[in-house]
Structure 1
Amino acid sequence: MTESPRSSVGAGPEQTPDGTVRPPDSDPAELLASVGASWLWTLGSALVTLVPGILILVWPHETLHVLAVIIGLYLLLTGVFRFVAAFSRQAHGERFTRVLLALLFVLAGVLCLRHPLQTIAALSLIVGVTWLVSGMLTLYTALSFKDLPHRGVVFGAGALGVAAGIVVLALPSQSAVVLTRLLGLWLVLLGLMELVLALALRSAIRRTG
């Protein structure tokens, strides 16, 4: 869903109003756009989702505190990845909305990492709302932009996020083991979807040269 940074053949270094030469990548917005357009950045986002899911499935009987830390780190890092990706030149949709969504992930991650978070109900509420809102906005993007690259994959990721949010919110809060396994499963599935998107993006970038 991103494209490689634009380049102008034969163009000289950019100059500032005072006549000094500024390197092309010195603009923070340009730097964020370049990083966010990289398929490796999308791959990193996929791994940030996939690895916590595997950890949760491998150790489903860890304490709630450990689970909250893993989920909190996942949400926090995902927010950072989404924030940078929002500045990609080919980011479809309103950048303001994407930045708000990234801040939602960061806020949810901070709440999960807070020490007072000691109930399954609180953890499921935070994760469920975050996934539900994220999935709805992703679905909106997939439906609104007809020329969206890999639109089917994006739509599938959005639908999966909405389903995950609804199921987690509807799950009885008394079943800690069930919630743990469900969170791990959804994270693995979401991570795999992002991994497919990253590989498709790499293929598209190679085709365009």
Structure 2
Amino acid sequence: MTTFPWHHRGKRQSAAGTAPAGAAPKPAVEPFWQVLGLGLITVLFGIAVLVWPSHTLHLVGALVGIWLLVAGALRLMGAFGHNQTAGRRVLLGVVGVLLLVGGVACLRNVATGVVVLASIIGLAWLLSGIAEIVVGFLARGTVRAWLVTLGVASLLVGLAFLVWPGLSLGTMVLLTGITALIIGAAEVAFAFQLKKGSAAVRPASPAEQQ
């Protein structure tokens, strides 16, 4: 193997995408804590919907409202992160505000029918899916694949809620709980993938370089 001078070796590593010592790692498209929080609250929401002993429209609406409020708050907190670009701030901020509005509407018992509540849930999934896809196309590699896959899954779930004819309360409960568990678990897995990727690009400390 040919040995290059140190300055050529540094250029070679930079061209390959490895950050030189002392350089800050490129921030993740979405913060680890935000993705993990969204995944955990979605999983807990899915479990609560499925295992609650009795299901009424008011109860399901309250659970959906709490889920949307927490998810919207996490989106807004992520929008104000110092590593976000202006475009991502606007996108995450708009989605966060809309989720909060949907959550308040559910808690104020605006959803007086199954169709209305299903429409709110469907729109929430659609908005989340659009945000994931748009942010995903700003990323690269594995992160892009994860985000686009999650976004497409959210879009499909949202469309199912909006176009399902004659959706009953029992069917809506099953669909809501199962899809929340699946997508929430995928978000948790993606969060740890983000953390693993961030650790891989973290520059070595002077002690580690010796």
TM-score, L = length of structure 1: 0.75
Correspondence 1:141 to 2:135: yes
Correspondence 1:102 to 2:76: no
Q: Is the Cα contact below 8 Å between 2:61 and 2:109 reproduced in 1?
A: no
Corresponding residue of 1:54: 47
Corresponding residue of 2:196: 203
Correspondence 1:170 to 2:182: no
Q: Is the Cα contact below 8 Å between 2:65 and 2:107 reproduced in 1?
A: yes
Q: Where does structure 2 lack aligned partners over 5 or more consecutive residues?
A: 1-21, 203-210
SS in 1 for 2:109: coil
Q: Is the Cα contact below 8 Å between 1:142 and 1:155 reproduced in 2?
A: yes
1:120 shift after superposition: 0.6
- Partners of 2:109 and 2:201 in 1: CA distance: 48
Q: Is the Cα contact below 8 Å between 2:136 and 2:143 reproduced in 1?
A: no
Q: Is the Cα contact below 8 Å between 2:36 and 2:187 reproduced in 1?
A: yes
Q: 2:108 is matched with which residue: 99, 114, 122?
A: 114
- Partners of 1:161 and 1:134 in 2: CA distance: 7
Correspondence 1:130 to 2:132: no
SS in 2 for 1:150: helix
SS in 2 for 1:195: helix
Q: Which residue identity is paired with 1:182? A: L
- Partners of 1:155 and 1:176 in 2: CA distance: 30
1:189 shift after superposition: 1.5
Change (3 A) 1:132 1:41: closer
SS in 1 for 2:160: helix
Structure with bigger RCO (C-alpha 8 Å, 6+ apart) = 2
Change (3 A) 1:142 1:69: same
1:96 shift after superposition: 1.1
- Partners of 1:125 and 1:37 in 2: CA distance: 27
Q: Percent identity?
A: 27
- Partners of 2:50 and 2:163 in 1: CA distance: 20
Runs of 4 or more consecutive aligned structure 1 residues displaced over 6 Å after TM superposition: none
- Partners of 1:178 and 1:117 in 2: CA distance: 17
Greater shift in the superposed pair: 169-178 or 90-99: 90-99
Number of aligned positions between the proteins:
176
- Partners of 2:96 and 2:46 in 1: CA distance: 20
Q: 2:177 is matched with which residue: 174, 184, 198?
A: 184
Q: 1:75 is matched with which residue: 57, 68, 77?
A: 68
Greater shift in the superposed pair: 156-165 or 130-139: 130-139
1:149 shift after superposition: 5.8
Deviations 1:5-31 (A, max 9, x none): xx99xxxxxxxxxxxxxxxxxxxxxxx
Correspondence 1:65 to 2:75: no
Q: Which residue identity is paired with 2:196? A: S
